[in-house]
Structure 1
Amino acid sequence: MIDKNSKSPIYYQIEEWVKAQIENNTFKIDKLIPSEREFIERLGVSRHTVRQAIGNLVNQGYLYRIPGKGTFVKDRNLIIKENRYTSFSEDMAYIGKNLVNEVLSLEYQEASKSIANRLTIDEKNPVIKVRRIRKVDQLPLAYEMVFISQKIVPELPEEKARTSLLQFYEQEKDLKIGYASETVEAVLVTEKTAELLGLPLFSPLLLVRTKLFLDNGQQVHYMKSYFRGNKYKFSLKLHR
C-alpha cells in the first residue's frame, strides 16, 4: 500500500491510493472519506503527510471539504451551471481535468440551408466548420461540430481550433460574448460517433446544441456536441 523505500514521496503515494479507492468506488461520491486519524493508523504515516496529500487532492478537484463535517469525494463528472455560460474548456479546468482537443477537420465552406437557419444567416454565406474530439484525461469524452459565421470570425487558425474557442473569441478577436442558448437531449450513439468515441453501438449520449451570441445579439456559432452519457453530467441552478 505505502512503500517507505520507494523514491515516490509518501504524500504522493497516499494521493494515488485515495484516487484508486475513488476509481473502484470504495470511496463513494459525496460520501465522507476516513478521518486523519484513520489514515494515520491504516497507512502508518504522519499527520502532516496525510494533510499534505488530502490538501493536494482537494486542490486537484478529487475531494471537497465542509467545515465542521469533514472531507468528501467530489463528483468530477458533474458540472454545476449557475445562471452563467461557461465553455467546456472552463468546466474541465474548474474540476481539475486535463483536456486535449483533437481537430479532425477544419473547412471553409458555404452554409447549407439547415446550418444557415441555425446560424441566423443567409444560405451560402461563408462559414467555418470544425470537427473535434475532446479528450479528458486521455479518454474521448465528446465529439463536436462547430459552425462559425465568417461575418463575425473571418478566419480560424488550426492551432487555435485546438484550444478554447471562447477564449479565442474573447481574448484574440476582442468579441463581447453576451449569452448562449442550449438544448439537451438523450440520444443513442450512431456507428460513426461510436467509432470516434470508442463506444459500443447504442450507448447513451447527451446531445447538446449550443447557439452562442454577442452582446449585440449577433450569433457567433452553432455547435453540436455529443457527450458520453456515463461521463458527463451537469446540474442547473435556477433562481425563481
Structure 2
Amino acid sequence: MESPVYIQIHNQIRQDIEAGKWQIGDRIPSERDLAVTFNVSRMTLRQAIQTLVDEGILERRIGAGTYVANRKVQEKVSGVTSFTDIMIAQGKKPSSKTISYHVAKPSLSESEKLQLPDGAQVLRMERIRYADAVPISFEVATVPYDLVRDFSKSEVTKSFYHTLEKKGGYHMGGATQTVSAQLASERIADYLEIKRGEAILRLRQISLLQDGRPFEYVRTQYVGERFEFYLER
C-alpha cells in the first residue's frame, strides 16, 4: 500500500531538513515553487506543509512565508486523560465529528513516534471534538492498526480510550506532551468556527500503555478562548 502523495512529500521535506538542506530559521521555498518541484497541486502541497507545521517541524509566519521551526521549551504534563472524561468532569456533553478515517502506511514521523516495525500500518483519523455542541478542538490521531483492527469504527471514534480499556483489556500509562501556540489556518478556522489567524493551542502527544508501549500519536489544535491547560507540580 502506497502512502498518500502528501505524506510522501512530508517525508521528503523532513528528510531534506534532517540532511541539512535547510537549517533552523531558514525560509523554505514558496508553496507555488514546491508544488512545481513535486509536480502536485497547491492543495496537496499545502496539506503536506500543514502536517509538518502541526508536528512543529515548520512554522508559518504571516506575510513572511514558512520556516524551519526553532526548538521550543517543553513543559511536561503527566498522565493520559481522554477528552470525553475531561468534558464529563466539567459537566459538559462531549461529542465528535469524524472528518477522515483510513488505514495507511505511516509517515516517517508517525513511524518514529510510535516505534513501529517495518511494514506496519496505522489508522489515521481526523476529528472535531465538541463540548455542549461547541467546537473545542481539531485532532489528527494515529494509532498502530494492529491495536485496533478488531474494533469497529464507532468504538474507536466515540471513545477510543474507553474501548482500549474495556474491550481490549489494555491499561493506560503516561504520555509525553508538548504545547505551543500558533495561528489558525483557513481550514482549521472553518472546522472550529473561528476566524483565520485567531490564536490556537497546539498539543502534540504520544500516549503510552502501562507497559511503556506507545499506542497513539495525536496532534490537536484547541481554540485558545475555549480551552486551557492546567499543570500541577
| Selected match of 1:176 from 171, 177, 181 | 171
Relative distance call for 1:144 and 1:155 in structure 2 (3 A) is: farther
RMSD after superposition: 1.8
Deviation string 1:51-72 (CA, Å, 9 cap, x unpaired) is xxxxxxxxxxxxxxxxxxxxxx
| Selected match of 1:201 from 184, 196, 203 | 196
Is 2:107 aligned against 1:112?
yes
Partner of 1:135: 130
Partner of 1:162: 157
Partner of 1:101: 96
Distance 1:163 1:116 in 2: 25
How many percent identity over aligned positions? 24
Deviation at 1:130, TM superposition (A): 1.0
Contact 1:210/1:223, CA 8 A, preserved across alignment: yes
Larger radius of gyration, structure 1 or 2?
A: 1
Amino acid in structure 2 at the alignment position of 1:106 = Y
Distance 1:83 1:130 in 2: 24
Instruction: Describe the SS at the equivalent of 2:197.
Output: coil
Partner of 2:180: 185
Q: Which runs of 5+ in 1 are unaligned?
A: 1-81
Deviation string 1:33-81 (CA, Å, 9 cap, x unpaired) is xxxxxxxxxxxxxxxxxxxxxxxxxxxxxxxxxxxxxxxxxxxxxxxxx
For 1:1-240, what aligned pairs fall within 5 Å after superposition? 84-122=79-117, 124-238=119-233
Deviation at 1:152, TM superposition (A): 2.7
Distance 1:218 1:118 in 2: 11
Contact 2:113/2:214, CA 8 A, preserved across alignment: no
Instruction: Describe the SS at the equivalent of 1:162.
Output: helix
TM-score by length of 1: 0.62
Relative distance call for 1:206 and 1:156 in structure 2 (3 A) is: farther
Distance 1:146 1:155 in 2: 18
